[in-house]
Structure 1
Amino acid sequence: MKTNFTKLLSVCFFLLLGYTVSAQDTRSVGESHAYTVTPENGSNTLVWTITGTQGTDWSLTAGALDQASITVLWQKPGTYTMTFTETESHGGIDCSTTKSLTVTVNDNFDVVIADATESCATGSTGTTDVSFTLTKTNGATDWTFDYTTTGLTPAISGSNVSASGNTHTLTLAVPNLAAGADQTFSVTISNVKDSYGNNDTNSGNNVTGDVTIYGVPNTGNITF
């Protein structure tokens, strides 16, 4: 009896070694992805483990860690190991199969601000609205940024502006100048962060080209 127990234990051990599989996966920060394993038996014990901290580095958006299918939202860049273990009980002897996956989450949260369209001023008084489109790639749905203008006196700026989704329109009310004067300026965004705490990875596309608001003729009144 002792010999049979030893043989069974050895078989389970070599099965565990033989069925441990490692694979590679690459994702973007802020990306959700479904991972599914087909268990041999629905009554077996299923366990997922993922390195890093749940709720900070990653979160589950579907499924549970004791189910065959889970959806993981990758919140922070880094390299993670996902391990799935299926355990089958044989009258007090547990035999397990383990499969593992290395997930590389790229640090690629990025926001780009596009140039604005040049226009005529609305007059010699009041303001002229100039709009800039910001486009987000990867990262969390919600994000914030600061901005400031270069070329306007005084400069127009803002801090911790809230944005949501992949695009945001920044509209600046630029004061018009008397005597039909033109105004040329650019906009720089900075301190761009998503709600997971990731920073913009490419500051090279955070400055617009110059845009000009052309002054309108300062025409006098009709006399009669």
Structure 2
Amino acid sequence: MKTNFTKLLSVCFFLFLGYSVMAQDTRNVGETHTYSVTAENGANTLSWTVTGGGAQGTAWDLQNGTTLTDASIDILWKQAGTYTLTFTENEDHGGSVICSTIKTATVVVGDNFDVSIADAVSDCATGSTGNSTVDYILTKTNGAADWTFDYATTGLTPELSGTAVAVSGNTYTLTLTVPNLAAGADQTFSVTISNVKDSFGNSDNTVGNNVTGDVTIYGVPNTGNITF
């Protein structure tokens, strides 16, 4: 009985010595990062766990064919939160004696998905009839590759709007088609984007760059044709 108790204390002692804490890591939503550990022995059992922040498939995902039993894994961080990343290497000494080394790290994923819309350039109308077009460049920072947004103008009659415009990539050109006004009338308006979301479920909460300044389509004279 004394021998078994001594063995139990020894196992607990080794387990305690094998535990260490790594520094905190900071990432962005939509970022894929590699985490790796040099295992002592390739025959040992390796395992990773990710806790806090959300579940696999929703808040994070493995990439590039890596698995939770590899020494190196690639994680795509899909949602903001604070996660605990734990790596365990188990070494079997025979019988019921398994010694483990555990490494942990805290990963803080920022809530920094953002889409901004740039001001457009004022210009003359293409004519006193027909339409003029105005281009607005939208730029995404962080988050999923796929995202959607709504938009609406302020200052036109009638106003222009759109809902759930689907985008893939970091930039998008929003082209507005504005009917020209007769008699050289100017049209001054701005554009607001809203309800900006990515496919991971993140929302753009930085609203300060979601409204443009005024742009003007300057009217041109409604000049008659040359007669002869």
Same fold (TM over 0.5): yes
Cα deviation, residue 183, structure 1: 0.6
Alignment of 1:207 with 2:206, yes or no, is no
CA-atom RMSD in angstroms = 1.4
Alignment of 1:83 with 2:90, yes or no, is no
Choose the corresponding residue for 1:66, options 69, 77, 94: 69
Partners of 1:25 and 1:104 within 8 A in 2: yes
Range with bigger deviation, 8-17 or 82-91:
8-17
- State the partner residue of 1:56: 58
Residue correspondences, number: 223
Q: Which amino acid aligns with 2:67?
A: A
- State the partner residue of 1:99: 103
- State the partner residue of 1:18: 17
Please give the secondary structure, in 2, of the residue aligned with 1:199.
coil
Percent identity (aligned): 67
Cα deviation, residue 2, structure 1: 6.1
Alignment of 1:30 with 2:30, yes or no, is yes
Cα deviation, residue 7, structure 1: 4.3
Partners of 2:18 and 2:100 within 8 A in 1: no
Please give the secondary structure, in 2, of the residue aligned with 1:168.
strand
Cα deviation, residue 192, structure 1: 0.1
Distance 1:22 1:57 in 2: 23
1:112-127 residue pairs with structure 2 within 5 A? Answer: 112-127=116-131
Cα deviation, residue 201, structure 1: 2.1
Q: Which amino acid aligns with 1:134?
A: L
Structure 2 gaps, min length 5: none
Structure 1 gaps, min length 5: none
Distance 1:21 1:118 in 2: 60
- Offset from partner CA, 1:59-86 (integer Å, 9 cap, x none): 0013100110100000110100011000
Q: TM-score under structure 1 normalisation?
A: 0.96
Q: TM-score under structure 2 normalisation?
A: 0.94
Partners of 1:50 and 1:80 within 8 A in 2: yes
Distance 2:179 2:21 in 1: 61
Partners of 2:122 and 2:215 within 8 A in 1: yes
Range with bigger deviation, 54-63 or 5-14:
5-14
